Amino acid sequence: MRCVGREGVTGRLRVVVAAFLVVGGLALVLVLPQLGLSQTSDERVVYMALIEPKGGVTVDKEPFPGTQMPKGGGYVLNPPNPQGRWEVSVYQFSPATVVVRQGERVTLEMVGINGAKHSVHIDKYVPNHSVVKRGEIGRVKFTADTPGVFKIHCEEHQPSMEGTLVVLPR
Ligand SMILES: [Cu+2]
């Protein structure tokens, strides 16, 4: 029978403690980025879809409402087609509210899902229209140097296609 002396037990204990430290350290390295605690970057990319949710039905199920929609292209109410189907839709940014921190270098990556084109500008930050066509990606970049609440506009689809940029103070 093999006899383990005092030195042998201490040595094994050291190996076990060292193994725990290595595994624990590895776990921290893997978990911290998930918690966002190690994020030091001042870059922020926000992905936005330029969308048009739509609903429709035939007149035998629901009569055409004939509502007077606000002008500007944001709301669309199409009367019944020859098959009796009518449709309603609205153009929107998704998400419509973007929150960033003061000082961040922001990229809004906008994808045109529906609508032939969207001419987008942001009060204070993006004065010139950035045009995004269906099936294309438009990237708008700016540094959020001033805190506050700013409107994001689409020229073609008022009044509904409007977003809000919130710049939180540091
Ligand atoms: Cu639009």
Supply the CATH number for residue 73's domain. Answer: 2.60.40.420
Query: What is the 24 CA–ligand 1 centroid distance (Å)?
Result: 50
67-78 tens-digit pLDDT = 999 999 999 999
Query: What is the 54 CA–ligand 1 centroid distance (Å)?
Result: 15
Q: What is the C-alpha to C-alpha distance for residues 103 and 126, in angstroms, rounded to an integer?
A: 16
Query: What is the 80 CA–ligand 1 centroid distance (Å)?
Result: 24
pLDDT bucket at 127, cuts 50 / 70 / 90: very high
pTM (2 decimals)? 0.74
Q: Based on the domain organization, do 48 and 29 belong to the same domain?
A: no
Query: What is the 141 CA–ligand 1 centroid distance (Å)?
Result: 19
Q: Based on the domain organization, do 140 and 92 belong to the same domain?
A: yes
Query: What is the 139 CA–ligand 1 centroid distance (Å)?
Result: 15
Q: Based on the domain organization, do 139 and 158 belong to the same domain?
A: yes
Place of tokens 């918690």: 35
Q: Based on the domain organization, do 88 and 143 belong to the same domain?
A: yes
Q: How many other CB atoms sit within 10 Å of the CB of residue 74?
A: 20
Q: Based on the domain organization, do 132 and 54 belong to the same domain?
A: yes
Q: Based on the domain organization, do 20 and 79 belong to the same domain?
A: no
pLDDT bucket at 7, cuts 50 / 70 / 90: low
Query: What is the 157 CA–ligand 1 centroid distance (Å)?
Result: 5
Q: Based on the domain organization, do 74 and 155 belong to the same domain?
A: yes
**Is 55:67 a contact under the CB 8 Å cutoff?**
no
Per the omega criterion (within 30 degrees of 0), is the bond before 159 cis? Answer: yes
Query: What is the 15 CA–ligand 1 centroid distance (Å)?
Result: 63
Q: What is the C-alpha to C-alpha distance for residues 151 and 132, in angstroms, rounded to an integer?
A: 18
Query: What is the 152 CA–ligand 1 centroid distance (Å)?
Result: 11
Q: Based on the domain organization, do 66 and 121 belong to the same domain?
A: yes
Q: Based on the domain organization, do 52 and 102 belong to the same domain?
A: yes
Task: State residue 162 phi and psi, 5-degree precision.
Answer: -140, 135
Q: Based on the domain organization, do 72 and 127 belong to the same domain?
A: yes
Q: Residue 92's domain spans which residues?
A: 43-168
Number of domains into which the chain is organized:
2
Task: State residue 157 phi and psi, 5-degree precision.
Answer: -130, 65
pLDDT bucket at 61, cuts 50 / 70 / 90: very high
Task: State residue 36 phi and psi, 5-degree precision.
Answer: 80, 10
Contacts of 94 (CB under 8 A, 6+ apart): 48, 49, 50, 51
Average model confidence (pLDDT) for the chain? 86
Q: Which residues have a beta carbon within 5 Å of ligand 1, which is an ion? A: 91, 118, 154, 156-157, 161
Q: Which helix (H) or strand (E) holds 26?
A: helix 6-35
Query: What is the 36 CA–ligand 1 centroid distance (Å)?
Result: 33
| First vs last C-alpha separation in the chain | 68
pLDDT at 35: 47
